[in-house]
Structure 1
Amino acid sequence: MDLFISVLITVILLRIAWKVWKSYQRHYLIHRAVKHEIRQIEKKLKFWEGEPERQYELLKTVYNTVLFDLYPKVKISHRRLEKLIHKEMNRIIKQPARSTLFQIYQLLKATLVVILLFSSFFAVEQTIRDFKSFATGTLMNSYKGTLDSEVAREINGVNPKEKEESAVQPSGTSLKETADDNKQKEVNEPKEQANSIYQLLPMNLYPNQVSSTEELGEAMAYHMEQLDESFTIQFVGDAATFNQATTDVWEWLDQNQALWISFYEDASLQYIDYGTHFNLEVSISYAVTTDELNELYQSVDDILLDMPPGLSDYEKVKYVNDYIVNNTVYELDSKESPYTPYSILLNGEGVCNGYTLATWLLLYALQIKNLYVSGNVGEELHAWNLVKLEGEWYHLDTTWNDPVYTGVFKWLGEPTYDYFLISDKKMKEDHEWNYELYPQTALKSYPYTE
């Protein structure tokens, strides 16, 4: 019993020390990063004193930069990191005295870690003494003969690789067959206007064979759409191709499957090499539940149900633009993650990623082809849509079509159309993107008339 108590105390002390240390380290990284970025714009903040909207744009850049830099380093969820950065910025800018007190509190945490480590050292010493005093002979006898010899030989004779192979045989055959059936239906059946987004599901189909980055991305997107938390993909190819595909797949998903990446929180990849192919075991956690995803789909149906009948494709695009602008507030500190369409369509708040994905989802439900574009405005990351209308592509930025108001006026303002179905030439005046990754637009913007 003494040994058990010593071990328990040691584990508890080390566990507490580790948690306190991680909390201190996390805050230290966030505080240092935010402080550094704010120091870079101090003169600009003073210059725009009295102009809250200008200052907000500067601080938004700080927020995005810190979030982008720290997310790979700080092993917490995207949503939690957003809240911590937001609180730290408020303390530094609005409550300097509170920020100083908070720093003192963090130093006390570091001191507590040192105390806990010393206490753990003494607890370990006590554990060793208790273990030595434990009767070795009694310990050996307590385990002697507990395993039947035949059972022991069976356990020792198991080939671990054979066990792994039997456990991870791909169950994707039925998925591929389903995908083939769906593709065949697309070929044989004429395109009809969907009455519900549920008629368009699944959005992604499982590829016939996974042997490239694109096909691996398609297979992962198929599972991510269903919020599968663990699944196996069979990849056919040599080691170099497989390694390249698993390295590039996240960039491909970010470029081509932005909707599902917005719900992604964390993932791990493991594989088994069979010589002729690889079994890739994927584990993913999501920031949205199945019920929330169904809520999102239902909201799309409800929104489009209110749309006037008989609209042209142009009028449908305008309806989507107006709906999002009239029902959304640009808000970084939103109830849900501001980067998802869920926050936009269910809570009416979010940032450019959410605006763009909500636009994409509504246009997809209307069967109007559109793309998610990732680019930047100045040094700030930004996102918007490319919409295909009457055979030509056009830019649509619902975020920038939404007038920015704050305080009690944040829900006011009519939709604007400065970034409604415009050409590359017009968009290039203040937006930047990788032109090689996206189709060229029509030479002139689409004429807008009331």
Structure 2
Amino acid sequence: MKRPLYYLLCAIACTSMVSSTMPMAAVAEAIQPQAAAVQQAQADAASSDAGKAEDGPNTNATADTVEDSTATSTGTSAVNTESADGTAAATGTPAPSLRAQANPAPEAISATSQTGYAHSATASQNGVTFTVSWNDAPAGTATTFHVTQANGSSQAKARMDVPTYWDGGSQESVCDPSRPAWASYYSLGTAGHDFTFDFTASGTYRIHFYFMDNDRNDPQNDKGIYYLRTTAEVTVNDAARPSVTQILNNAVALCRQETNGSEYDMALWLHDWTLDQLEYDHSLNWCSAESGLTRHQGTCESYQRIYSKLLDAAGIANGRITGNGHTWNAVKIDDKWCQMDLTWDDTSDNWYGGLDQRHLYFGLTDELMAIAHSDHTANYQKDDYAYRSTDLSNNYFVRNGKADEWTEKCAAANANI
């Protein structure tokens, strides 16, 4: 997936040489054929992020178990008469647990009816009532949402939508709504069905539950319910589960203490701090700053969002770039734009001896980033592109002099192209 690494470094070293006469575009063009062999693998791997790359606006404490956590919940309901496609229910199939520590196989869920819930939300249509009931759960324990129906048919079914998170400074979908687990309806039967979710940060979570009860093949028993919704809101206020904004602000405060305050040093510190917070989520479910900072898992969307929020809090201009089903950051350091890909920097690979591969995508030009993400060529050639990156002065290897160590190797490699 990351085989363009060596060629990128060669390009960085060669273009940083004072004696070099090869223009940037020529270097990129020369390197491109050798990177082409990995482009398909990169595109296949990155395409799994395509559903997230065009998401809406960017909006470390692990959830330790405590007994005195506080959570409050409210419920609202709404009816939408828009038609739905009547997706077949996964009758008899337990809903997968959508907790951070997810197992490869769906987790068995009890359908035993419970009473005495602290919170509930209902929605009614055509004489059928759907109810979502739940209790507050301590940190480290998933909340169970018990969904039931009254006066419905055997076709009654429900699904839980992707939770959204809001803490006053960060609003986002916690998970990727394109994943199959979030689109599946489950039969309610007479006992109902349980869904679970673990709330890992202080703030407000909103979860929509959708219901259907229709049977076009049996008009006499068709309840005609295609799109009915109710909403559960859970507010967490727990010192053991700090909010996303609190985590970000604490990180920036520590950054100011441990750096000289320059934009370069702060951007580098925050880059490294972000990589230490999470691992890439190969299940492709978790795609938010919330998941990256409190569940320590996330896709490229998480890396990009976390870094963007940190830079915003630090007062460093930045932008969002997408391409090849992937997303990364543009960062303005000392009035010069450069490209940063934290997802691809988050590696333990050591292909080239002493090379620090965790900074290979720190401070690239547009042309160099396009070697790894070919769609980016079309991005930076647009007239309205706002993040034109042509300068390598803030590249990690150029800035610390490491590029010179690779000059001879890169010159030899380019001579053989």
Q: TM-score, normalised by structure 2?
A: 0.38
Please identify which structure carries the higher strand content: 2
Q: Which has the larger radius of gyration?
A: 1
Please identify which structure carries the higher helix content: 1
Q: TM-score, normalised by structure 1?
A: 0.35
